Amino acid sequence: MKMDAPLLRFENVAFRYPETSQDVLQGLTLEVPQGQVTAILGPNGAGKTTLLRLAYGRYLPRRGRVWLEGRLLAEYSRQEIGRIVALVPQREANPFAYSLLEYVLLGRAPYLLPLQMPAASDVTIAWEALERVGLHHLARRSVQALSGGEYQLLLVARALAQQPRLLLLDEPTSHLDLANKKHLIECLRSLLAEGVTILMTSHEPEVVAALAQQVVLMRDGQVLHSGPLETLWNAETLSATYNVPLRVWEFDGHRLVTWE
């Protein structure tokens, strides 16, 4: 596969949820380049999370096509997708007191046959994933003892145990304190260095500016603008996306966005 071919491509995709009558995505076209961080921004209800759901085949488009690594996503089996694409959901509830290691091991499911159990090699991979997000010292603890931020990192670890080439993150930093935010950004950067492609949604401009090379600005189920961060990160474009006057600041190498 060529390096410059997009890993994921949405081609004129329209989608509505079953039993609803309004399109959430309306003829959306989008390319996620390989080996980069692409961030989706836009107001609540713009269709960001829906877009992620279509990216791992949870739903199929009503119209248009989704391509993954040059092949139609609809032609993949679920297990195949699970080995290429991993999802870190915005939040996740589970009432049972798994240990962190047991929970991360669930990420090995796409590699196991229906009745197969994870083996020592899977444990090694799960342990490495925990180490990457810095939770390995808690491996035997219960997931219920984790703080909100640690839990988010745990979900990232489970996604890493899938050894994905495309990582989908739905507002990954929304529950994190400043230290954990920095930690996660560094962790994602190191994945990037290994060639993992990242597609994330975010409501936090400073996180996007620190991490993303590509930006997609969405509104009402459509892409307003997409392209390199440098060309889109200005007050005009962002203000138009959120429909509120915004200012962009550059300060000591950080890019900040504030209200007018």
Partner 1 sequence: MSVVPRAHPLDLTAHVSTWLESRVRARQRLFWMGVLLVAVMGISVFLGRYPQLGLMSPTQMLEDPLAQRLILNLRLPRLLAAMLVGMSLAVAGLVLQMVFSNPLVEPGFLGVSQAAAFGAALSIILFGGMAWRVQVSAILFGMGGLALSYLLARRVRYGGWVLRLLLSGIAVSAFFAAGVGLIKYLADPLRQLPEITFWLLGGLSSVTWKPLLSALPLMMIGLLVLFLMRWRLNLLALEDEVAFSLGVAVHRERLLALLAAVMVTAASISIGGLIGWVGLLVPQLARRLSGADARYTLPTALLLGGTFGVVCDDLARILSAGEIPLGVLTSILGAVGFLILMTRPTIKV
Task: Give the residues lining the site for partner 1 (CB under 8 A).
Answer: 53, 56-58, 77-83, 85-87, 89, 92-99, 101-102, 106-107, 109-110, 114-115, 117-118, 120, 123-124, 127-128, 136, 139, 142, 144, 162
* CA separation for the pair 152, 219 (Å, rounded): 26
Q: How far is the CB of 90 from partner 1 (least distance, A)?
A: 10
The answer to whether 168 and 55 are in contact (CB under 8 A) is yes
- For partner 1, give the closer residue by CB, 1 or 113: 113
- For partner 1, give the closer residue by CB, 42 or 82: 82
Nearest alpha-carbon partner for 29 in 227, 198, 212: 227
Beta strands in 62-192 (DSSP E): 63-68, 71-72, 85-88, 166-170
Tell me how far CA of residue 215 lies from CA of 176, 177, 203, 205, 240, in angstroms. Answer: 22, 24, 12, 11, 15
For 98-116, b/e burial (b = at least 16 CB within 10 A) is: bebbbbbbebbbbbeeeee
- For partner 1, give the closer residue by CB, 107 or 172: 107
- For partner 1, give the closer residue by CB, 58 or 254: 58
Q: How far is the CB of 139 from partner 1 (least distance, A)?
A: 7
Q: How far is the CB of 120 from partner 1 (least distance, A)?
A: 5
Q: How far is the CB of 154 from partner 1 (least distance, A)?
A: 12
